[in-house]
Amino acid sequence: MTEPVVHIANLTIQYPNNVVLNSLSWSIQQGENYVIGGTSGSGKTTLAKAIAGLIPADNAIKLNFDASKSLPAKVVYISNWYQFTNLEGDRNFYYQQRYNHHQGHDTLTVKAELEHFAKKENLDFSAIRQRIQDFGFEDVQSSQLIELSSGEHKKLQLVRGLWTKPQLLIIDEPYTGLDKNARAVLNTWLDELVQEGVQLILITNDTLLPNFINRFAHVVNGQIEIVNSPAAFAKDKKRQKKELPAFLHEIPQTNYETVAEMNNIFIRYGEKVVLKDVSWKVNVGEKWLLQGPNGSGKSTLLSLINGDHPQAYGHDLSLFGNKRGSGESIWDIKQKIGIISPEMHWYFDQNATVWHTIASGFYDSIGWFIDVKYQEQKQIEELMEFFDLTEYKNQNLQTLPLGKQRLAMLARTIVKNPPLLVLDEPCQGLDNDQAKYFNDVVDELAQYGKTLIYVGHYETQLPSCIEHRIVLEKGEVKAIENITVKNKHLESAIV
């Protein structure tokens, strides 16, 4: 009888006061391609990392590779988030640095990173050129790693990992941040790899999967359970709807009619044009959806609005009724904005507790530096209760399941009750139930005079309050239109 590719016997992994995997046993046979789904924080990622040898498993895991295969006898793990280093080998970056072209040269270009990886792994660069083109990734080869959007970073992760064609490939949240075309390209590529002998384990609750996926499992109470389909995955407990804290019922006072107005904006880095002749007007109280493929310029456009882009000066750009450069400070702008984005989550202080994370929203910092006032403390406490985060108030943000991290970041975004909410792919990594809960909160907030700019790829993960849409493609405006999420299909070939 052929030995299983993965054999796990009585695997136990625990962190302080928390047993994640409890005497777990599991075997994966040749030809079995798994999706592991289930609840946030159940131990899926911990199990994947243990199989990949990234977490000590005390000899509870045995891998049996096929010596007759030409593929490398190894396991490759692609994490949910991409961690890159600068040219000196550390990760000492700050959030706004990605928009500063001069300081961006502290990291490798995409092409240099891939060439370095090819040399290290003894790979042929020509073998990956068509994949790069299929992914729509060829236009960023000269970009610095720090300049990439979250979706572009995900593509870089995937290109590197799939290029190696290991006998066992594990991908944690493979579709996070990818646009519609990239998700389809990824599934096709994975199916082709399976035909070449690669075996898959995907960690996801997504239902649009490669054709060769033939096994499903979830982790429940520290044990692996085999199920028949993703529909049987355990789901997070639905939260009971609560009344918004009273301070969020207050409609923000504004003495301006336009939140943002830009005319014929050009943003370039050297020869690379990121935004080309972009004009857009956002009036007070409007609810906008911003869409476009990965790398279309969405993050750069938002950086002009939230005050993080150094090229905002010298352009025909007005924010909150004032032309940029007319005397207002960046802090005057940020005081009026609550923002959440994958990049901000990446750069956030990894040692911040949940309480400090929310408190930092008053000061628009990536950590927490100032003692909060009594009224501010009260608002923090109210938001923790509203989002069921009170019991985690003293835990580091990074130790929580992703769903709870995102809720803490949303609490940070709204704690000062700003007139403008900028929500850049806030539901990345959340399943449909978690995303619905998140967007229900956004819909409720929208009733109290908020202006909203929301970035999202998935039609099923959008708030229903959205009224308008702007679509970017290769830095240009392709569409501006009025919409109603409830009755119009939004997800087209370009998003």
- Asked if 423 and 258 count as a contact pair (C-beta separation under 8 A), the reply is no
| β-pair type (34-37, 199-203) | parallel
- Asked if 200 and 190 count as a contact pair (C-beta separation under 8 A), the reply is yes
Strand partners, 481: 469
d(CA 193, CA 200): 9
Mean of the pLDDT values across residues 5-20? Answer: 90
Mean of the pLDDT values across residues 93-110? Answer: 52
pLDDT of residue 276: 93
User: pLDDT tens digit string along 304-336?
Assistant: 888 776 665 667 889 998 887 666 677 788 889
For residue 100, the one-letter residue type is N
Q: Does the pLDDT value for residue 177 go beyond 90?
A: no
Query: What mean pLDDT, rounded, does the chain reach?
Result: 85
Q: What's the sign of the alpha-carbon dihedral 355, 358, 362, 367? A: positive
CATH number of 246-482: 3.40.50.300
d(CA 463, CA 340): 15
**Closest alpha carbon to 49 in 38, 31, 39, 36:** 36
Mean of the pLDDT values across residues 90-99? Answer: 42
- Asked if 237 and 433 count as a contact pair (C-beta separation under 8 A), the reply is no
pLDDT of residue 293: 85
d(CA 239, CA 376): 25
Confidence of residue 94 (pLDDT cuts 50, 70, 90): very low
pLDDT of residue 326: 60
Residue with tokens 């911003």: 290
User: pLDDT tens digit string along 46-66?
Assistant: 999 999 999 999 899 999 999
Mean of the pLDDT values across residues 377-385? Answer: 95
DSSP count for the chain of H helices, then E strands: 13, 19
Annotate 397-453 with DSSP letters as a single string: GGGS-HHHHHHHHHHHHHTT--SEEEEESTTTT--HHHHHHHHHHHHHHHTTT-EEE
d(CA 438, CA 414): 13
Confidence of residue 87 (pLDDT cuts 50, 70, 90): very low
- Cα dihedral 50, 51, 57, 58, rounded to 10, equals -170
Give the tokens for residue 330: 């960046």
- Asked if 358 and 415 count as a contact pair (C-beta separation under 8 A), the reply is yes
d(CA 170, CA 200): 6
What contacts 211, CB < 8 A, 6 or more positions away? 187, 191
pLDDT of residue 310: 63
Q: Does the pLDDT value for residue 21 go beyond 90?
A: yes
User: pLDDT tens digit string along 444-460?
Assistant: 999 999 999 999 877 76
pLDDT of residue 63: 96
Which element (helix H / strand E) includes 225?
strand 223-227
pLDDT of residue 86: 44
Q: Does the pLDDT value for residue 140 go beyond 60?
A: yes
Give the tokens for residue 349: 């202080």
**Closest alpha carbon to 104 in 155, 139, 141, 143:** 143
What contacts 126, CB < 8 A, 6 or more positions away? none
**Closest alpha carbon to 410 in 377, 391, 386:** 386
Q: Does the pLDDT value for residue 396 go beyond 70?
A: yes
Q: By mean pLDDT, which of 163-167, 296-300, 427-431 is the weakest?
A: 427-431
pLDDT of residue 89: 43
Residue predicted with more confidence, 241 or 485 = 241
> HSE on the CB side for 480, CA within 13 Å?
8
Instruction: Tell me 22's DSSP state.
Output: E
Angle between the N-to-C axes of helices 180-195 and 150-163, in degrees from 0 to 180, rounded to the nearest 10: 10
d(CA 277, CA 344): 27
C-alpha distances out from residue 6 to 45, 78, 105, 407, Å = 16, 18, 42, 35
Domain boundaries defined on the chain: 6-232, 246-482
Annotate 261-293 with DSSP letters as a single string: EEEEEEEEETTEEEEEEEEEEEETT-EEEEE-S
b/e burial code for range 92-115 (CB count within 10 A of at least 16 → b): ebebbbbbbbebbebbbbbeebbe
- Would 6-232 and 246-482 be classified into the same CATH topology? yes
Count Cβ atoms within 10 A of the Cβ of residue 247 and give its class: 0-12 exposed, 13-18 middle, 19 or more buried.
Answer: middle
Count Cβ atoms within 10 A of the Cβ of residue 306 and give its class: 0-12 exposed, 13-18 middle, 19 or more buried.
Answer: buried
Confidence of residue 382 (pLDDT cuts 50, 70, 90): very high
Q: Does the pLDDT value for residue 491 go beyond 50?
A: no
Q: Which CATH number fits domain 6-232: 3.30.300.20, 3.40.1260.10, 3.40.50.300, 3.40.50.2020?
A: 3.40.50.300
